[in-house]
Chain A
C-alpha cells in the first residue's frame, strides 16, 4: 500500500477494473510459482500486489519504490521463475491501463514504464538474493553433512578399535590391548622402573562348562570379569581377558615383587567368594602366575610368558594359589626340557652306555655281582648320571626303548663275563613304565636268548613304589620274569611304603636297603632333652634286615662309603654291600680287571 489517501480513493474508484486485471495477472502466473499453490491463493497474492501497483501508478507524486517493492514481493511470495517476470511485464503492459480505463497518454506511459523498470529491478534483486541464500543454505547443509559423516566415521573407527581391542563378552580389554599397553610401559621411562603382571585362570572352568552348561560358564566368566574389574580398575591396573577363562592384570610402577603378589592375592581372594548364577552357588578357585621386574630386563612376550610359566607352577602345585616366577626354577625347567627333547636322538646315536658298580659279598668281600647304571655321554654337557635323565625318560616314556637297549647291553656284558667264567650276576633297573609294558617278559626272554646269559645271573631291580599297587598285569609280568629264571629285587627299600603283604606274595629274590640306612638317622629340630629316648638306629636296622631274612630274601646294603659303615651293615646282618667304599660305577673293563685280580 502506498498509504496515500488520494491514491487509495482512486484505487477504490477503479475497484472493478482492478479485480479484472488481478484475475488476468493471476491467470498469467499459472505455473509461474516455485511450488504448487492453489488458484485461490494465487489470486489473493496477486490482487494485493495489483492494488499496490495501481496505487503507485495513480499517485500524484510517483513513488519510485513501488514497482521495486512489488517485484521483490512477487519473488518472496514464490513467483520467482523467469516466466513470472516475463508474463507480469506482458500483462501489465497490455492489460493494466485498459482494465482500469486509464488514458493511454504519454504521461501514463512514462509512469507505467517507471513502474515496470522498478518491478523488474526489484524482482531480479530478490531472485539474486534468494539464489545467494539458497546457495548458502545448500553449502551449509553439505558442510553439516560432511562433518556428520566424518564424525560418524571417527565414531565408527573408535568402535572398530574398541571391538578390536576388547573382548566382546566381558567388554574387558583383550590381549591385543594388553600387549600394546605393556609394550608402551616397557619402552617408556627409565629401565629401572618396575612393572608387574599376573595371569589368572579359573581352576575348574571346564568342569563348570561341562556340568552346568556353557550358558552358566559364560555368565561365570562375565561375573569373574566384573570382580576383577572392580578390584583392579580403582587402582588403575589394566585388566584384560586373554582367552576363555584366562585373565591378566597389569600392575605399573611396582617397587618390588610383593606389590604384584598382593594384587594377585587380592584377586584370588575376590574370586574365592562363591558365585551365584541362576540361584546356583558356584564355588570357584583360581590360580595365578605372577612376574615382576624392571622394565629394562626383557620384552613384553617374555613377561607374559613368565606369568604363564608361573601359572603352570601354581596349577601343578595344587591350584588355588599364586606362584611368583623365578628365573632359576624356570631355567632348570628349560634345561630339563632340552634334555628330554634331546633324548630320542641321543638314543639313536648311541649316546647311552652303562657303568657297573660292584656288589660285594659282605661275608668275604668278593665281588658277587654288579649293578648296571645308565650313563649319557652328552655331546655338550659331558657324562650325565642316571639321576639326571632317567626320571625325564620315565616322564616322556622314552624309558621303554632306552630300558630295553640298556638291558640288552648289560646282558651282553654279563654274558661275556659268563663266557670268561666270571661268576657275576648283573642287576638292571626296571622302571615302573616298563613293568606296565605287556611285552616286557617276551622282550627279556629274547634278550636272554640272544645274549646267551643264564637267567639267574640277571637281577631286575624294581622300586618299592612299583609294587605298592599291584595290578594283575604287574603281578603277571613279575611272575613271568621269575618263570624265566630271572631274579627280582626291591630297590630303595625303606623309602616308600612297601606293602609287607606284597613282599610276601611276590616271588622276590631280595631287598636293597636304601642308602639312608647306612647313614645315622638325621635329627629333626632341636636335640631332645636327655630324658627322651632316641630311636636306636642299629636296632631298627637289625629289625629291617631280620624282616628281609624272615621273608627268605637276600638283603643288600646300599650307600656304603666308609669301612665303619661296611662294618655296621655287616653287623646288622646284611648279605651284600654296595657303595663307594667297595667301588664306584666304572666301565666294564675295570670290573673285569678287579674280578680277575680277586680270582688269583
Chain B
C-alpha cells in the first residue's frame, strides 16, 4: 500500500528552528537552548545579525502599512514564524479592525504558538502548511473562511522564499501563488543574499543547514526574477532599509550590510 502524502511528521525539538532563532535575534525569549545555540553561532559569523533581522522585520512592517494604504484589507503571511507582538494582524488591525490575516508556517511549534496568541481573534488564523504546496494553502478551509480571493490580497513572503532550494522550483511556487490572486493584490518578498558580504553571510547560510529550514542565498538578479509578471512598486528590489524608509536614520550608513533584498509587486 502506498504511503499517503498526509502522513504527519513528528516534532523534533532537538533541532534548531530558524523561526525561534529569529525571535532570539529580535530580542525575544520564545526559544529553546538549541535555538539560542544556533542563533549565537550565527551571530559569531555575522556580528550584526540582530540588526539584519530587525531591518528585515522593519521592511515587513512598512510593507504592511504600504499595502493598507493601498486599500488591502486581507493578508496571507507565509513563513510567519513566531508571531510576537507587533505582528501583521496587530499592525493591520490597529488601522482596520476587521483586517483579515492568515498566517502560514511549516514549523508546528510556531503555528501552535500563533494559535495561542490568536485565540479570540476572529479575523486572524494560523495554519501549518508548506510554501511548496501553494494550492493547498489557498484552498485550505481556514484560508477560504477568512480570505476572499476575489478581492485583492496582501501576500507576505518575508524571509521565506530562500528556504526553498532551486530543486523545489521556488519561481514556479511564487508564480502559482501570484496567479491565484486577483489583480490589484500585492506581493512582498524579502530574500537573503551573500552579494554584499560573501564570507560572513555565506557562513551564516551554511550554518542554517543545521536547522529545520536551511536557506539558499540568491543574487539580486535571481531575487528580481521572483517579481516577473508583477508590477514592481517603487523603489524596486533594494536593500531592506532602503525600501520606503520612514526617516534617514532608519537607513543607516551601510544598508547593503543588512543582506536582504526586498521588494513589493502588484498583480496585474
Contact = CB atoms under 8 A, between A and B. Distances in A.
A345 to B, nearest CB: 44
Interface in A130-144: 130-132, 134-135, 137-138, 140-142, 144
B27 A34 contact: yes
19 contacts: A31-B51, A34-B27, A35-B86, A35-B87, A36-B54, A36-B61, A39-B247, A78-B86, A131-B29, A138-B29, A138-B30, A141-B110, A141-B116, A142-B112, A145-B111, A149-B11, A149-B108, A152-B8, A156-B7
Interface of B: 1, 4, 6-11, 13, 20, 26-32, 51, 54, 57-58, 60-62, 82, 84-87, 108-113, 115-117, 246-247, 249
A30 B247 CA distance: 11
The 9 tightest CB contacts between A and B, nearest first, are A35-B86, A152-B8, A141-B113, A36-B61, A134-B29, A145-B108, A131-B29, A144-B112, A145-B112
B57 A36 contact: yes
B109 A80 contact: no
Contacts of A146: 11, 13
B20 A138 contact: yes
Interface centre among A31, A81, A141, A148 (most CB of B within 10 A): A141
A158 interface: no
Contacts of A37: 86
Contacts of B13: 142, 146
A555 to B, nearest CB: 72
A38 interface: yes
A31 B247 CA distance: 12
Given A130-B29, A141-B116, 8 more contacts: A34-B28, A81-B27, A138-B29, A140-B112, A145-B108, A145-B109, A149-B108, A163-B1
A81 B86 CA distance: 15
Contacts of B31: 138
A457 B111 CA distance: 101
Contacts of A134: 28-30, 84
Interface centre among B26, B109, B111, B249 (most CB of A within 10 A): B109
Contacts of B62: 36
Interface centre among A132, A145, A146 (most CB of B within 10 A): A145
A322 to B, nearest CB: 34
B8 A156 contact: yes
A594 B4 CA distance: 85
A476 interface: no
Interface in A226-260: none
A153 interface: yes
A152 B10 CA distance: 9
B26 A138 contact: no
Contacts, number: 93
B11 A135 contact: no
Interface of A: 30-31, 34-39, 78, 80-81, 130-132, 134-135, 137-138, 140-142, 144-146, 148-149, 152-153, 155-156, 159-160, 163-164
Contacts of B26: 34-35
B246 A38 contact: yes
A interface secondary structure, majority: helix
Contacts of B6: 156
B75 to A, nearest CB: 16
A160 B4 CA distance: 9
Contact of A149 (B8, B85, B116, B247): B8
Contacts of A30: 249
A36 B11 contact: no
B64 to A, nearest CB: 10
Contacts of A39: 246-247
Nearest to A164: B1
A140 B247 CA distance: 39
Nearest to A134: B29
Nearest to A81: B27
A137 B110 CA distance: 11
Contacts of B110: 141
A406 B31 CA distance: 94
A137 B113 contact: yes
Contact of B84 (A34, A145, A155): A34
Contacts of B8: 149, 152-153, 155-156
Nearest to B65: A38
B86 A142 contact: no
A34 B82 CA distance: 13
B80 to A, nearest CB: 13
B27 A142 contact: no
Contact of B116 (A78, A144, A148, A156): A144
A38 B113 CA distance: 26
Interface centre among B7, B58, B62, B108 (most CB of A within 10 A): B108
A35 B57 contact: yes
